[in-house]
Structure 1
Amino acid sequence: MSLNLTASPSDSGNRDGIAKISDGMQLILTSTELSDVQFAVGRDYGDVKTFLAHRLILSIRSDVFDTMFYGSVPETCSAPIDVPDIHPEAFANMLSYIYTDAVKNLSQDNVFHTLGCADKYDLPLLVAICVEFALKELKIQNCLDMLDSAVLYASVAPSILEKCLCLIDESVEIVWKLDQFCAIGYEALRIILQRDMLTANEDKIYSAVEKWTANMCKSKNVGVSPANRREIVGRALYLIRFPLLTDTQLLDGPVQTGLLLQSEAWDICQYKHAVIKPDLPFPTESRQNVRSQGVINYTIPDLRELSEASKCSDPISVRKLLWNIEVVKRTDSGSATLGFYLECSGDPECDSWKYQVTTEFRLLPWKTGTTAINKQFEKSVFDKKKPWAGTSRFASMKDLLDPAKGYVNPADFSLKLQVHLTADLPGAAG
């Protein structure tokens, strides 16, 4: 049989004027001609889809397929090969990569399925593509969804898991409030509680676990009772640093709800106050979470649309307070400038909080060779009356919007900003 090079109405693509090998390979992939193997994919997902492919092409790209088709005990290929554990979208992405070196339909919904598929068929470059995509898409709003998947693929892509956890470390006060938190898996919760760099007080960590156990009880259709809570949280309970709670927090919190047994609470009180201290199953050392430095990154999506209504970055945690970038368009005597500020949410439990903060505001140019714009502010005082620092005239909007200057991305007029901050101890401002 020979490959018919004449385009016809039944062809899924037009062969006239194919200039690149990748275009030809895409046409072969979407065509049924000369295919010699079928795959029935996705039974475990309830959506079985049949894919036609070419054994030789698959074997050239993957040692797994080479062994499957040309090893000592090759597949007969007389019937579709059953692939129940791979999602059809992931298998389609893999075939696209094998045939064309491109993955056009990678998305947040299928990237981890594709990652698993790439690992199964030993395609390390496709693994790298998936990792790069996931890291680029990662943000506070989806970090918990990604964390559950990253835990499953930790051995394949440990960098995704670590990046998720670092983001949670920095912004855990926001993460607790996300709807997704109450639905994360047990292993994800356990790994979070193990973290030594969580930027939250232990009472907040305990409260988040209480909320998670209550939701898990409801999802399993069991009563929200102390016994059920303890059974669901399991050994992860002993990752909460209960000895760091005040006596009031201990008695009004986990003792009152029954998450802690009275005998456990008594041992904790003895440990805190008695000369002879009992051994505890709970960690007793504080988390090393009081960071004095941080870096905030923010990309203005389209500088042309920036107005006098300010835009803010996602916050990070430094000194257990939340800090974010705020940008706004300022107009003075007909001249428009970029207002660029660092803002602090402050300490809701203390009206007298005060920090001395050294900051460096950076504009990161899109074009290589363009000099970055940096402005430093030494020891700005942040407190309840003035929880911000920065300038209303960081740079001329006219200059920034000129693609020839090299600051904005000419494709979408996005602009990258960064703030480095160092916060001195509370009260150091004198």
Structure 2
Amino acid sequence: MKKTEFTSANCPVEVIDVEAAAFKVMLSFIYTGELTELNGDNAMAVLYAAKKYDIPGLVGPSLQIPISELRNVFLAYAQAGLYELEGFANDCLFYIDKNADTLLKSEEFLQIDQKLLCEILERDELQINEEISIWKAALRWADSKCRENGIESSAENRRAVLGPALFKIRFPRLSNEEFSKKIVPSDVLSKDEVIAIYLFKSLSNCHGISNGIFPMQFPTNGRICDRKDGTLLMNIEKMSAFVLEKVGSSRYSEKVYINGMPWKILAQIKTKNGSTDNNQKWLGIFFWCDTSKKDSLWHCCVRSATFRIISQKIEAKNSVGTLTISNFVLDNKLTNLGFPNFISFTELMDPSNNFYNREEDKVTLPLMSCGGAKNGENDFRSEQIQRHNFNWN
């Protein structure tokens, strides 16, 4: 931290670990209650001062500065972990994931430590255009650390400063040309590691390689931005208890990333036409984008989403109810879209329809999404909703 000086009537007092601008913001808040000088450049330094001097009223405003305005989102994330601010930490990670291509090229990225480098590079959620950009970012970081330590940026030193972070890079996901022309000549990988990756990329059955002479030590799975469509699955457990809950009660599926965006199924107890009769409950099903923060320009376009209920008996003929929504746009005001009256609980729990598994006390809901677009892509000018009646055949 920069040195800040506070001068009393006769003698100066040195505050060596709080930035001058942050200290001024803190004093202004203490004496006047004003925060006119709080901004993205000093917010994290103000947070540090608020925590150090136990000023709870200053913590909240420091965390309300938009993530996009913070001077260093990596530092912000590190501080969030230090102070156990889980929600703020998640907001920082979401911003890092969403803007990975830009942030990995920033000067701020070069300032992070090896532990945080590992945490970032291993994230499935990083929205990058191509895996080679991860290698380039790691190499920039390694060269920066070599300079800081006054050592040559040799292959040996690069590997040493990267340490475990090297094994977070998904070399098997690179094209043969990228790997051969950009990775191999760097000499950062050992000969055995190079051979293992070539074998993995060239052989169709790679299961034996990981336990063979040339073990695979690098991740082979793609990142979530590679998925262009997908299926969400939700089991509503303890269904008999859920039916008895009040109108508005909700259940959520596990989060699934499709084309870089986080999605969940939202199941909610509804009534029809605004009725307050708890005996006339319906199951509402929605496709929900689980983003923690959305600015006024946020939007996401999805070509189609198909809602279904799976029969609990394979031999059942009346197996599936289906409704489809096509070409819809979600934004910061409309974060979910679906059917508030998908099926009545009377129909859902009817044994003859085979939707409710009495033994396991559950109902299974799959939702298929095709072509969920990234934020800002495919700007549909109109919203077209195509409804299909239940198909019991």
Preserved contact between residue 143 and residue 153 of structure 2 (Cα < 8 Å): yes
Indicate the larger mover: 222-231 or 185-194: 185-194
Report the 3-state secondary structure (helix = DSSP H, G, I; strand = E; otherwise coil) of the residue aligned with 2:7: strand
What is the match of residue 160 of structure 1? 88
TM-score, normalised with respect to structure 2: 0.52
Is residue 151 from structure 1 mapped to residue 84 from structure 2 by the alignment?
no
Question: What's the RMSD between the two structures over aligned residues?
Answer: 4.3
Q: What amino acid does structure 2 have at the position aligned with 1:265?
A: V
> Which residue of 2 is the match for residue 287 of structure 1?
223
Contact conserved, 1:357 with 1:382, CA < 8 A, in 2?
Answer: no
Tell me the amino acid that sits aligned with residue 103 of structure 1.
L
Name the structure 2 match of 1:258: 187
Rounded to whole Å, the distance in 2 between the matches of 1:51 and 1:191 is 45
Residue 319 of structure 1 is matched in structure 2 by 259
Do residues 48 (structure 1) and 5 (structure 2) align? yes
Amino acid at match of 1:148: L
| Identity among equivalent pairs (%) | 25
TM-score by length of 1: 0.48
Distance in 2 (CA, whole Å) between partners of 1:342 and 1:115 is 31
Deviation at 1:147, TM superposition (A): 1.4
Q: From the superposition, tell whether residues 143 and 190 of structure 1 become closer, same or farther in structure 2 (CA, over 3 Å).
A: farther
CA–CA distance in 2 between the matches of 1:205 and 1:121? 39
The counterpart of 2:47, out of the listed 94, 111, 115, is 115
Name the SS for the 2:72 alignment partner: helix
Q: Which amino acid aligns with 1:244?
A: R
Hey, what does 1:23 align to over in structure 2? none
For the pair 1:213 / 2:132, whether they are aligned, the reply is no
CA 1:119–1:128 in structure 2 vs 1: closer, same or farther (change >3 Å)? Answer: same
User: Could you tell me how far 1:381 is from its partner in structure 2?
Assistant: 10
Secondary structure at 2:139 match in 1: helix
| Contact kept? 1:148, 1:185, Cα under 8 Å | no
User: Does the C-alpha gap of structure 1 residues 208 and 91 become closer, same or farther in structure 2, counting only changes over 3 Å?
Assistant: closer
CA distance in 1, matches of 2:143, 2:112: 13
The amino acid that maps onto 1:145 is: N
Q: Which structure has the larger Rg over C-alpha atoms?
A: 1
Alpha-carbon distance in 2 for matches of 1:380, 1:271: 30
Does the 8 A contact of 1:382 with 1:388 survive in 2? no
Q: Shift in Å at residue 341 of structure 1?
A: 12
Matches within 5 A, 1:174-193: 174-178=102-106, 180-193=108-121
User: Larger RCO: Structure 1 or Structure 2 (Cα < 8 Å, ≥ 6 residues apart)?
Assistant: 2
Report the CA distance shift for 1:343/1:96 in structure 2 as closer, same or farther (over 3 A): closer
Instruction: Check whether the contact 1:93–1:106 (CA below 8 A) recurs between aligned residues.
Output: yes
Task: State the partner residue of 1:194.
Answer: 122
1:239 Cα deviation from its structure 2 partner = 1.2
Unaligned 5+ residue runs, structure 1?
1-43, 53-77, 294-316, 322-339, 345-355, 365-371, 373-378, 395-419, 422-430
Query: Helix, strand or coil: the match of 1:190?
Result: helix
Is the CA contact (8 Å cut-off) linking 2:5 and 2:13 kept in structure 1? no
Structure 1 position 361, deviation (Å):
6.7
Question: Which whole-Å CA distance do the structure 1 matches of 2:378 and 2:45 have between them?
Answer: 43
Relative to structure 1, is the Cα distance of residues 87 and 199 closer, same or farther in structure 2, using a 3 angstrom cutoff? closer
CA offset at residue 195 of structure 1?
1.2
Contact 2:298 2:331 in 1 (8 A): no
CA distance in 1, matches of 2:39, 2:158: 36
- Asked if the contact 2:3/2:20 (under 8 Å) is kept, the reply is no
Q: Structure 1 residues 184 and 253 mapped into 2: Cα distance closer, same or farther (>3 Å)? A: same
- Shift of the 363–202 alpha-carbon distance from structure 1 to 2, 3 Å rule, reads closer
Q: Please state how far the C-alpha of 1:129 moved relative to its aligned partner.
A: 1.2
Q: Distance in 1 between matches of 2:332 and 2:78?
A: 35
Contact conserved, 1:217 with 1:228, CA < 8 A, in 2? yes
- State the match for 1:227 in structure 2: 156
Classify 1:91/1:250 alpha carbon distance in 2 versus 1 (closer, same or farther; 3 Å).
same
* Alpha carbons of structure 1 residues 143 and 286: separation in structure 2 relative to 1, 3 Å: farther
Distance 1:196 1:266 in 2: 25
Q: 1:173 aligns with which of 75, 94, 101?
A: 101
Residues 381 and 389 (structure 1), Cα distance of their counterparts in 2 relative to 1, 3 Å cut: farther
Q: Distance in 1 between matches of 2:164 and 2:34?
A: 44
Q: Which residue of 2 aligns with 1:24?
A: none
1:132 aligns with 2:64: yes
For residues 22-421 of structure 1, what are the structure 2 equivalents within 5 Å? 45-50=2-7, 83-133=15-65, 136=66, 138-139=67-68, 145-156=72-83, 157-178=85-106, 180-200=108-128, 201-218=130-147, 220-272=149-201, 273=203, 276-278=208-210, 279-290=215-226, 319=259, 358-360=327-329, 388-391=378-381
Flag the 1:153–1:104 CA change in 2: closer, same or farther, 3 A. Answer: same
Kindly tell me the number of residue pairs found equivalent between the two proteins. Answer: 256
Distance 1:361 1:245, change over 3 A: closer
SS in 1 for 2:196: helix
Describe the SS at the equivalent of 1:85: coil
- Cα 1:247–1:390 change in 2 (3 A) is closer
Q: What is the rounded CA distance, in whole Å, between the counterparts of 1:45 and 1:363 in structure 2?
A: 38
Q: CA deviation at 1:93?
A: 2.2
Superposed displacement of residue 320, structure 1: 6.5
Measured in 2, the distance between the counterparts of 1:263 and 1:362 equals 49
What secondary structure does 1:161 align onto? helix
